[in-house]
Amino acid sequence: MQKDIDSKLNAKNIKPTAMRQLVLQVLTKQSTAISLPELENKFEKADKATLYRTLKTFEKNKLIHSIDDGTGSIKYALCKDSCECHPDDLHVHFLCTHCNQTYCLNDISVPNINLPSSFSLESVNMVVKGICSVCSK
């Protein structure tokens, strides 16, 4: 729904340009995280830099979050409505070594870690690798 798209953009204070609407549409359809190169391929003809800056804008305004799954390209996924990208919102990600898809395990929050003394914690990146439910059939 175009309405939903625009209101989501508005809710995060992002001006709803044509490009941004299209990108958000792709992200919404997506059930797994997507990288910039993958996003490029979803369009017949689109400029990498524009898509790049669109993703950066989305990320800055907390519409999406980025995931470094170690594959060499950063992936992006929609934040939950409730998400503020605070430490509390951190969840585990899963990379399937078979299909290369990256899943947000939104229900699995990153476990607490007791750091050595005088180490302070800012954020945690936790990526589990294995075989996803689709590929394990």
Partner DNA sequence: ATAATCTTTGCAACCCAGTTGCATGAACTT
Partner DNA sequence: AAGTTCATGCAACTGGGTTGCAAAGATTAT
* Interface residues toward DNA, by CB under 7 A: 15, 17-20, 35-37, 45-50, 52-54, 56-57, 72-74
129 binds, among a second copy, Zn ion, Mn ion, none (CB under 5 to 8 A by kind): a second copy
Question: Nearest Cα to 64, choosing from 100, 27, 98?
Answer: 27
Least distance in angstroms from the C-beta of 96 to Zn ion: 3
List the interface residues with Zn ion, window 94-113 (CB under 5 A). 96, 98-99
Least distance in angstroms from the C-beta of 92 to a second copy: 6
Question: Nearest Cα to 35, choosing from 60, 70, 61?
Answer: 70
**64 is a contact residue toward Mn ion (CB under 5 A):** no
Torsion angle, CA of 81/11/103/59, rounded to 10 degrees? -130
**129 is a contact residue toward Zn ion (CB under 5 A):** no
Pull the structure tokens for residue 70.
Answer: 């170690």
Least distance in angstroms from the C-beta of 59 to a second copy: 14
β-strand pairing of 91-96 with 102-109: antiparallel
- Is the CB of residue 63 less than 8 Å from the CB of residue 78? yes
Bridge partners of 93, per DSSP, are 104, 127
32 binds, among Zn ion, Mn ion, DNA, none (CB under 5 to 8 A by kind): none
**86 is a contact residue toward a second copy (CB under 8 A):** no
For residues 94 and 111, give the distance between their C-alpha atoms in angstroms, rounded to a whole number: 15
Q: How many CA atoms within 13 Å lie on the side-chain side of 108?
A: 10
How many residues interact with Mn ion (rule CB under 5 A)? 2
Binding site for a second copy (CB under 8 A): 68, 70, 92, 94, 97, 105, 107-108, 111, 113-133, 136-137
